[in-house]
Amino acid sequence: MLALRIPTDGSEVHLVSVDIKDRPQDDGSADFFDDVADLSPWLGDAFKYRRVADFYVKNVEDLSAQFPRLVRDDDTALHGRYLLYYTILPTLPVNKCCANYIGFDPPADRLFWRGDLFVVRYEGELGMGHEYVDVPLTLTRIIKDIIRSAYQRRALESIVEDDAEFERIMQRDRERRPWFHAAVETGALERFRTGQPLSDGDILLLRQMSGTVQWPNGDSESLPPAT
């Protein structure tokens, strides 16, 4: 698959051949689906900290605020679904291409795109048999507009703020349902869901979860609430 690479050093945007691989077990939360684009040859360790933004290119008459990820364009060759991968790690250099797109070097108090950026294209629904297809190089002009608009809207700051709020919510939920989160993190819940053999530790965790579950052998059981 050919992906669009926006180099951090400000050199010309170009296409690169990217392999598709299964999502690693220790992967971050950027991709919630399997069969991910392997960008590690370029991003290295930063691959685990990548972020992703999806967008659609289509010819529409009215861009509603309900569809902020929809980009209007008349070029039918560009119509489709895309994923923009990026990082904001402070240890990486500012992406000079993106700085050129906004017309100046970003001030130190602003979040900015760092390291290489990549755009991949896909067909179908993510996680439901989607297929990756080649990205046209002419998509570059749309990426420039997306970067400029995102910077003006302080989109990166909003994303980080949303992430922090989500983490606060998750922390409260972990305190309220510790056994459930332990079952998720250890894989016990996934093994139960897929009918895999369960260890005594798995069963102990699952029994702490409230509600009724259907065991793999067909039996139903009401589990006691967490204590």
Note whether 122 and 181 are same-domain residues: no
Among candidate residues 118, 153, 188, the one where a domain is terminated: 153
| Residue 214 pLDDT level (bands cut at 50, 70, 90) | low
* Structural domain includes residue 170: no
* Number of domains, the chain: 2
If asked whether residues 110 and 7 sit together in one domain, one would say yes
Using the predicted structure, report yes or no on whether residue 31 has a pLDDT greater than 70. no
User: Over the stretch 100-136, which tens digit does the pLDDT of each residue have?
Assistant: 999 999 999 999 999 999 999 999 887 777 899 999 9
Residue 48 shares a structural domain with residue 95: yes
The model carries a pTM of 0.75
In a domain, 55, yes or no: yes
| Domain shared by 9 and 73, yes or no | yes
Residues 136 and 40 in one domain: yes
The string over 153-163, giving b where at least 16 C-beta atoms fall within 10 Å of a residue's C-beta and e elsewhere, is eebbeeeeeee
110 vs 187, which has greater pLDDT? 110
Residue 183 has pLDDT above 80, yes or no: yes
Q: How confident is the model at residue 212 (pLDDT cuts 50, 70, 90)?
A: low
Which residues form the domain of 205?
177-223
Is 7 within a domain? yes
The dihedral sign for the CA sequence 121, 30, 114, 148: positive
Asked if residue 145 and residue 79 are part of one domain, the reply reads: yes
Per-residue pLDDT of 135-162, as tens digits, reads 999 999 999 999 999 999 999 999 999 8
81: helix, strand or coil: strand
